């Protein structure tokens, strides 16, 4: 689709000073896009941009007097402990505005800080533009009065916000979502996987724990626990070879518009396969003796030691242990498993079963022991792959510390082997088959990439008890709010446990119809977030220049 090129009005001066204030990872990203759009649309203007932000805004040419990594704090107790740091940031920005006299001040989200800054600076005569609205429509609606008083132009990114602010008497303009047309793959699946040491033929599940230190603290451990449960259940389901079907985890298409639930070829039904297993077992004169006849218990013990997570892989799946008993009697195990689909093939299997005496004698061969060992799944053959894309404001060291602590309690065969992805979140999401996402901007990024997801959010108990009564919505996830209905699951606070998250993941992946509906709903959300020609950043840049020139 062709995009209209939006032109900014010519200001009265060839130099424009602009203060941009962002305090979170998403704001850093949006501030960088805005700075780039301003420069691109106004090649004859020299912009002097400064304020608060992170790595992306610095890369876009913004001088960051305050580092967003230091001030991206949530929670009442956490803010109380960091009050000195936040006050220093506040004073730094006030003094910079007073000394540099910017043509306008653009505040990006971060409402508890930015609304205080807006009140002070608007009283001193500065033009205030608020890009990406505080979610006053969700909680503490009384704040809209302060926004009407202190903000010259509100630039909103969600379609329902324009009507809300206009009805409240706020000067407002809907510019579309800044991630629409941006969030998506910029490399092929093969290129992405090669860069990060992943297998492009195996499905990928992304874990996005948030953009703040406390979000990582509360979200990542339960996400890792959910991933462990998904891995164990998925491996166990795949290992039950005769009639036990794994949830649909087929590798996704790279195009979000044409992705649909991939269906695996179905084996014989579970009930039929169980009866066939029983019939096969009845034909084996004494299967127990065949197992006991291996030349030493030490060899059996050695085999057992090769099995990853025996609790889940062996004990949790009776059908697998039954199949293994049968396979130990059959010289060519592969053909009996594949032969379960007809009675004639079952007869062929029966003819392949030797008498138990020969099976006992055969067990002392080292070559057969090697063959048995080759049947044992290894971590390398595990199907799912896990990635953790990091927000620009997140410390890799913090994430690694949590992962190492989680993995320290597990054996080598139980390790998740999750890959940390830095500076490539969009490709990670675009090539993921599913995602577990902390509530926030990342849910919109996942939707724009067409990635089905479960949304979670956890915080400290005191924050939850203090803040929950102030929230006026039953739905928390931004994707669901935009869609107008709950199109993806939400697990909040006490419901956000590893067990419940894993259950929701399987509920979607094991239901092709639901998976397909989810993808269609996400495509609808992508359409709602687009506001016509051009990008949201370009429309926002044009609105900023209009305020500077005309007001």
DSSP lists the bridge partners of residue 457 as 492
DSSP lists the bridge partners of residue 131 as 108, 155
One CATH from 3.40.640.10, 3.40.50.720, 3.30.2180.10, 3.40.50.2000 for 15-181+531-550: 3.40.50.2000
pLDDT confidence bin for 413, thresholds 50/70/90: low
Percent of the chain past pLDDT 70, that is, above it, reads: 68
Out of 115-124, 371-380, 449-458, 465-474, pick the least confident. 371-380
Q: What is the pLDDT of residue 84?
A: 86
Do the bridges between strand 153-156 and strand 385-390 make them parallel or antiparallel, or are there none, so unpaired?
unpaired
Sign of CA dihedral 487, 491, 493, 495: positive
Percent of the chain past pLDDT 90, that is, above it, reads: 58
| pLDDT above 90: residue 75 | no
∠ CA 187-191-192, rounded to 5°: 75
| pLDDT above 50: residue 297 | no
Mean pLDDT, all residues of the chain = 79
What are 130-155's pLDDT values in tens digits?
Answer: 999 999 998 889 999 999 999 999 99
| pLDDT above 60: residue 254 | no
pLDDT confidence bin for 469, thresholds 50/70/90: confident
What are 109-130's pLDDT values in tens digits?
Answer: 999 999 999 999 999 999 999 9
Out of 75-89, 173-187, 314-328, 414-428, pick the least confident. 314-328
| 508 Cβ neighbours under 8 A, 6+ residues apart | 434, 452, 454, 489, 514, 515, 518
Do the bridges between strand 490-492 and strand 453-457 make them parallel or antiparallel, or are there none, so unpaired?
parallel
Q: What is the pLDDT of residue 109?
A: 94
∠ CA 169-172-178, rounded to 5°: 150
Spatial distance between the Cα atoms of 500 and 493, rounded to a whole number of angstroms: 12
Q: What is the pLDDT of residue 534?
A: 72
- Which of 331-340, 470-479, 497-506 is most confident? 497-506
What average pLDDT does this structure show over 360-379?
A: 43
Assign 3-class secondary structure to 69-108.
HHHCCCCHHHHHHCHHHHHHHHHHHHHHHHHHCCCEEEEE
Instruction: Retrieve residue 438's tokens.
Output: 């902390």
| pLDDT above 50: residue 36 | yes
pLDDT confidence bin for 414, thresholds 50/70/90: confident
Q: What is the pLDDT of residue 2?
A: 40
Q: What is the pLDDT of residue 13?
A: 65
Phi, psi of 199 (to 5 degrees): -100, 115
Cα distances (angstroms) measured from residue 208 to each of 103, 226, 429: 37, 13, 9
∠ CA 206-72-151, rounded to 5°: 115
Q: What is the pLDDT of residue 295?
A: 44
What average pLDDT does this structure show over 521-539?
A: 87
Q: Is the pLDDT higher at 318 or at 526?
A: 526
| pLDDT above 70: residue 467 | yes
Instruction: Retrieve residue 288's tokens.
Output: 């127990």
How many Cβ atoms from other residues are within 10 Å of residue 355's Cβ? 10
Q: Is the pLDDT higher at 374 or at 507?
A: 507
Q: Is 6 left (phi over 0), alpha (psi -120 to 50) or beta?
A: beta
Sign of CA dihedral 442, 203, 380, 314: positive
Instruction: Retrieve residue 419's tokens.
Output: 């890959």
What are 496-505's pLDDT values in tens digits?
Answer: 999 999 999 9
Q: What is the pLDDT of residue 9?
A: 62
Give the helix/strand (H/E) hosting 492. Answer: strand 490-492
| 246 Cβ neighbours under 8 A, 6+ residues apart | 234, 237, 238, 264, 383
The CATH 3.40.50.2000 domain(s) of the chain lie at 15-181+531-550, 189-253+383-528
In this structure, the chain runs to a length of: 551
Q: Is the pLDDT higher at 250 or at 342?
A: 250
CATH superfamily to which 189-253+383-528 belongs: Glycogen Phosphorylase B; (3.40.50.2000)
The conformation of residue 256, written as its DSSP 8-state character, comes to T
| 466 Cβ neighbours under 8 A, 6+ residues apart | 76
Give the helix/strand (H/E) hosting 156. Answer: strand 153-156
What average pLDDT does this structure show over 179-202?
A: 95
């Amino acid at each position: 689709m062709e995009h209209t090129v939006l032109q900014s009005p010519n200001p009265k001066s060839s130099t424009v000073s602009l203060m941009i204030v962002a305090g979170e990872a998403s704001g850093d990203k949006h501030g960088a896009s805005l700075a780039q759009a301003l420069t691109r649309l106004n090649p004859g203007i020299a912009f002097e941009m400064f304020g608060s932000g992170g790595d992306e805004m610095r890369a876009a040419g913004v001088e960051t007097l305050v580092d967003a990594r230091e001030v991206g704090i949530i929670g009442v107790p956490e803010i109380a402990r960091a009050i000195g740091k936040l006050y220093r940031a506040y004073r730094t920005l006030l003094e910079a505005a007073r000394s540099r006299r910017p043509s306008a001040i653009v505040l990006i989200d971060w409402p508890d800080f930015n609304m205080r800054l807006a009140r002070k600076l608007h009283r001193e005569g500065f033009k205030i533009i608020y890009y990406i609205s505080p979610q006053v429509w969700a909680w503490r609606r009384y704040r809209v009065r302060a926004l009407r008083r202190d903000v010259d132009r509100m630039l909103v990114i969600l379609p329902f916000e324009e009507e809300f602010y206009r009805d409240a008497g706020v000067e407002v303009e809907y510019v579309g979502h800044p991630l629409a047309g941006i969030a998506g793959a910029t490399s092929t699946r093969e290129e992405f996987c090669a860069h990060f040491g992943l297998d492009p033929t195996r499905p990928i599940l992304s874990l996005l724990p948030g953009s703040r230190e406390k979000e990582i603290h509360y979200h990542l451990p339960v996400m890792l626990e959910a991933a462990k449960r998904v891995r164990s259940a998925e491996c166990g389901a795949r290992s039950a070879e005769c009639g036990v079907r794994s949830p649909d985890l087929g590798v996704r298409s790279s195009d979000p518009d044409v992705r649909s639930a991939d269906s695996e070829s179905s084996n014989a039904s579970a009930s039929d396969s169980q009866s066939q297993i029983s019939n096969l077992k009845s034909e084996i004169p004494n299967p127990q003796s065949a197992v006991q006849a291996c030349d030493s218990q030490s060899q059996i013990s050695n085999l057992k030691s090769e099995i990853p997570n025996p609790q889940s892989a062996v004990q949790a799946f009776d059908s697998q242990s039954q199949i293994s008993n049968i396979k130990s009697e059959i010289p060519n195990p592969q053909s009996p498993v594949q032969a379960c689909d007809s009675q004639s093939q079952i007869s062929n299997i029966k003819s392949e079963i030797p008498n138990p005496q020969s099976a006992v004698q055969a067990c002392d061969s080292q070559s057969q022991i090697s063959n048995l060992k080759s049947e044992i799944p290894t971590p390398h053959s595990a199907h799912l792959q896990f990635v953790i894309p990091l927000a620009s404001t997140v410390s890799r060291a913090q994430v690694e510390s949590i992962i190492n602590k989680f993995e320290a309690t597990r054996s080598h065969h139980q390790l998740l082997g999750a890959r940390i992805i830095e500076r490539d979140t969009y490709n990670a999401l675009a090539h993921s088959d599913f995602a577990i996402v902390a509530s926030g901007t990342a849910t919109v990024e996942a939707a724009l990439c067409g990635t089905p997801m479960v949304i979670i959010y956890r915080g400290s108990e005191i924050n939850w008890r203090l803040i929950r009564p102030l929230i006026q919505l039953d739905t928390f996830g931004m994707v669901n709010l935009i869609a107008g209905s709950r199109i993806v699951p939400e697990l909040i606070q006490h419901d956000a446990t590893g067990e419940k998250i894993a259950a929701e993941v399987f509920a979607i992946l094991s239901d092709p119809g639901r998976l397909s509906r989810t993808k269609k709903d996400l495509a609808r959300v992508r359409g709602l977030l687009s506001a016509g020609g051009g990008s949201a950043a370009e429309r926002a840049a044009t609105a900023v220049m209009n305020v500077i020139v005309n007001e």
